[in-house]
Amino acid sequence: MRKKFAWFFCIFMSSLVLLSCSEDNKKGEEPGDGTGGGTPEGDTKTYFETTYSDLSAYVDKDVSEIWAAVGNASKDEENNILYVQDQKGNRYKATFKLDGTMIATIEMVLTGSSENKGIEVWESMISSFRDYKLGTFLGTKFKDYATGEGGIKQTTEETIPLLTLEANTLIYPVFGIQKKVYCCPIMDKDKFRVEMCRNYLPLDFSTLGKYVGANIDETLQEFYAISNKILFGTAMAYLYFDSAIDLKGNNYTVNFDSDKTLETVLEISAYIPENEQTIDRWKDLLQNYADYKLGTLKELYVTDAFGDKVQDLADAQAAFDLYESNGRNNGIIARFETAYGNNSLILNKDFCYILVRKS
């Protein structure tokens, strides 16, 4: 496609040279749409004129906020679709993917007079990301579909050459466009799209268990911008999230660990940071577990150094008293049941975390 574009560009530039004199008097007389391509026949849509930065501010907001802002722009509220035009005149069909009523992701594909400009728009966005106000460039993930090999490029200059004539690569640049939002102009083989998403994993412990038993690579695709797949030879694979936030705004790091096949999520571990607030967080989770949607409390008990159960505890206060007298020398585990399995809040000498497994 790049070769075809280059050939077309040369012909186009030659035509401009030959016709420049006769066309000078016509400039500004013919209608256009800001994209340089005119309005294609049949495109009667009204586009919401915005910037990537302004549009990304609606991520993690109630979807009603965007509908209130777009005026008479063409939209489909039932299917959460809006037609937008960026500050460079590029036109998109934007689809809002919801988490409840909150916008979790905005996925945009070129449409109208911009529909066939994917490579041109992508290269422009990557090379001139400051002009597009995309924020801070954080790096580019890439994967060659033919070989399975990939990695990370640390500069935009290294990113652009990834798009080869074969167009057989997933190129996934990531920009920090808002405090909690990433903007990702993506080339997937020869298909271009822009994704704006939350830059953290939202932790709803009542539903997190739905990912246990899921295919690990399909889960990676869902969270490609915010997770990394890590392999330990043929022993284990896991997805790592360096930022996850629970319903009260607390931070965690999270692992989705595979089973021995390396293909299926066996369990999920959400780790509370180890600092002066760790025990306060543990106490709050244990005492107010309903607020965190941890599930129905089934048992609370103590383990020895080998993880074996040695004593039941009557309630949260008994767990707090044991900690005050014995510190973290023993493990303290509270097990909860949800519709998707078990959530176990675990405090031991090494970690404080929530383990999510099937029943």
pLDDT at 348 > cutoff 60: yes
**Residue with token string 């990537």:** 52
The pLDDT assigned to 40 comes to 52
The pLDDT assigned to 357 comes to 97
Please say whether the beta carbons of 359 and 342 come within 8 A: yes
Percentages of the chain per state (helix, strand, coil), in multiples of 5: 25, 40, 35
The tens digit of pLDDT for each residue in 6-61 reads: 333 333 333 333 333 333 333 333 333 333 334 455 678 999 999 999 999 999 99
The tens digit of pLDDT for each residue in 267-292 reads: 999 999 999 999 999 999 999 999 99
The pLDDT assigned to 42 comes to 64
**Residue with token string 């290269």:** 123
The tens digit of pLDDT for each residue in 120-132 reads: 999 999 999 999 9
- Closest CA relative to residue 198, chosen from 180, 183, 185: 180
pLDDT at 165 > cutoff 90: no
Q: How far apart are CA 1 and CA 145, in angstroms?
A: 17
Which pairing describes strands 81-85 and 48-49: parallel, antiparallel, or unpaired?
Answer: parallel
DSSP string, 75-136: EETTTTEEEEE-TTS-EEEEEEEEETTEEEEEEEEE-GGGTT-HHHHHHHHHHTTTTTT--E
Q: Please give the share of the chain, as a percent, with pLDDT higher than 70.
A: 88
Interaxial angle between packed helices 278-287 and 316-326, expressed in degrees from 0 to 180 and rounded to the nearest 10: 160
Task: State residue 335 phi and psi, 5-degree precision.
Answer: -110, 130
Q: How far apart are CA 56 and CA 182, in angstroms?
A: 8
The pLDDT assigned to 41 comes to 53
Please say whether the beta carbons of 199 and 56 come within 8 A: no
